[in-house]
Amino acid sequence: MSEKSLQRSGNNFDCLRLLAASMVVIGHSYWLTGQPEREPIRRFSGGYDMADVAVHVFFVMSGYLIAASWLHSRSLIEF
């Protein structure tokens, strides 16, 4: 893991966050209109909808950032 990958200008976490947040909004819009079965990802993912996939994306990003923070901390207290 390089130092540049954690710098704000050297990664795409903002883009991934925007994509995941958009997926949550779009995924929930199908439920709000009463047509959850028409949600496009649900057909190909075995029952998961866009909002489910977006939550998993957020968890993976969080895990990566927490692990990177731990690796770059000098002590447990600093972490």
Distances in Å between the alpha carbon of 57 and those of 34, 35, 41, 78?
25, 24, 15, 27
Q: What is the pLDDT of residues 37-62, one digit of tens each?
A: 888 888 888 888 889 999 999 999 99
pLDDT, residue 6, reads 53
Instruction: Give helix 50-71 / helix 13-32 axis angle, nearest 10°.
Output: 150
- Average pLDDT for residues 12-38, to the nearest whole number? 90
Binning pLDDT at 50, 70 and 90, where does residue 9 land?
A: low
Percent of the chain whose pLDDT exceeds 90: 34
Q: What angle do CA 25, 30, 36 make, to 5 degrees?
A: 135
pLDDT, residue 2, reads 56
Do 48 and 42 touch, CB atoms closer than 8 A? yes
User: Most distant CA pair in the chain: distance in Å?
Assistant: 51
pLDDT, residue 8, reads 59
55-67 core/surface letters (b: 16 or more CB in 10 A; e: else): eebeeeeeeeeee
